[in-house]
Amino acid sequence: MKRREFISTVCAGISTGILLPAEALPRRTPGNRELRLLEAARKSGAEYAVVRKVVKDFESLQAQNDSITSHVSYHDAGYHLVLSTGKGIGYYGFTESSDLDEEAAVGIALSMAKANEAYPFRTIPLTSDLASGHHKAKPVGEDPITAAWKNKKALLLKINELAREHKKVEFVVSNLFLQRETVRIINSNGLDFNDTRWMVYPNFAVSAIDRKKTKQIMSRRSDTSPVRAGFEYVESMDFSQMVDRAVRDLEKLLDSEAPDTARYDLVLAGEHLWRVIDETLGYHLSPQVLYSLSEFSPPSIFRRSSFTGSPPALSKDITLRSEPGLENGLAPGSIDDLGRKIKSHVFIENGKIEQFPKPGVHAFPETPVYPFRADGWRNAPIPTLSNLVLQHGSEENTIERMVSGINKGILIHGAANMRHHHDRSSFETRGEIGYLIEHGKITKTLRGFSYMQRVADFWASCVSVGSAKTNHAGGSLHKTVGDDAQTLPNTVRSPAALFIKVPVRNLEQQS
């Protein structure tokens, strides 16, 4: 393989890293895991190696009315190792707390690289900075976030004070989130610096009691997207406009004669539903949630795009079967080596699982094939179900056909803006825009509504799935779940689907 082809391949999906010949790797330095990984790669005979260390620090602060109620923070770090034999590429990722030694990590990556030697690589354009190794270290000084974060309490209380100036607002909850990510970069010339980026965003909810009708508490939440910018950007935001908008929406809700909550049939387009799948099933689920999901069996709905566990031939707990019509192809999957997750692929030959993994099968096929279907929730080998995608329905089942059979429902397109219960047993979407369906026809535009339900009840209410033509792919090729060591080499995708009798609230109608 040509050097440039290798560089282009390993750089796909890696935002920051180093690339240098194995013989130029620094010698072992006690206490420096990045350098020990590089030295282990050199000793293994690898031609090239890339190491990335990512450190994440997260903080969240909440204020209710005029007092601070909670302050939470956590720290996480992980390593990514990618190396080449000159013909094939292998990779492995693990967290800072892992007791895996560097030689074992290199061995895993090297075995994958050798298995991939016969697979043709794809290339992408390479930026000149990364190719030449020219990086400019940022000046050392006080982090702007650290300085501004000192005033975070005053900032939240200011938001609440602005909101409570409105007479109808009786309760305000505001939150401020900060995530700081530091990537350590080292090269053979001795350059060593931290590249830091951050994401900050506030959000808040204003609430009031509907004293005229149902006596229910009604609320409106601000919709503020995460901002990848300095903290000073947040301090300069015009919170008064955000507060006014949320309060106006709350007043409309209080004055509305429509019931606060009603049940509708929902037709969710693929570009909306893929995010719902990812958010409700793509994270670690508690045993209680998995038990609730196991109360119904959806083998006709879900199929697996990958799995983590023992090879199918050795497993008694994972039930997989080949999709009809699939004779040969690649199937994203994983194998479990002494409890360590390693991404690889199953190879399908003449409709049967032949070898796991098949020599020459690369970890990132150009066109992923999804040949397996799960036979039930209890067969999920790990509590992270991000490897599930919807099995599309018949060719005749278009969105138009699903809409035509609904008397009272809503058609929803666009991204889902979601929040969850802390154990992800239930969820709610916010700020949706949809179209009212009456007697099989779209009659009105709906704005500002939301729908909510228990995760298990929501998926149990799925009665129809759209055709392959309604499929929509979302997410990224290198999707991470929880940390960088859990990268999945496939996107999340979904067709449209119909869910019946889902609770919907906060409807505001306009022709």
For the record, the structure tokens of 88 come out as 């094939």
74: amino acid identity, one letter: Y
- The arrangement of strands across the sheet holding 340-349 comes to 328-337, 340-349, 352-355
Cα separation, 281 vs 473, whole angstroms: 16
Cβ–Cβ under 8 Å, residues 288 and 426: no
The number of beta carbons lying within 10 Å of the beta carbon of residue 109 is 27
Q: Look at 198 and 65; give whichever has higher pLDDT.
A: 65
- At 174, the pLDDT band (50, 70, 90 cuts) reads confident
Q: How far is Cα 120 from Cα 439, in angstroms, rounded to an integer? A: 53
Tell me: cis bond preceding 357? Omega within 30 of 0 counts. yes
Secondary structure of residue 334 in the 3-state scheme: strand
Answer for the pair 218, 207: CB distance below 8 angstroms, yes or no: yes
pLDDT for the residue numbered 87: 74
Strand-pair category, 408-412 with 261-268: parallel
Write the pLDDT tens digit of every residue in 398-431: 889 899 889 999 999 877 777 765 556 678 887 6
Of 114-118, 186-190, 288-292, give the lowest mean pLDDT range.
186-190
Domain chopping of the chain, boundaries: 3-54+78-132, 144-258, 262-510
Q: What is the pLDDT of residue 53?
A: 82
| E strand intervals along 278-425 | 302-304, 328-337, 340-349, 352-355, 388-390, 408-412, 418-420
- Catalogue the long-range contacts made by 334-337 (C-beta closer than 8 Å, 24 or more residues apart): 334/306, 334/307, 334/308, 334/309, 335/310, 335/311, 336/308, 336/309, 336/310, 337/108
> Is the full-model pTM beyond 0.85?
no
Beta partners for residue 221, in sequence order: 205
CA–CA distance from 49 to each of 35, 84, 400, 484, 489 (Å)? 11, 7, 52, 17, 20
pLDDT: which is higher, 492 or 511: 492
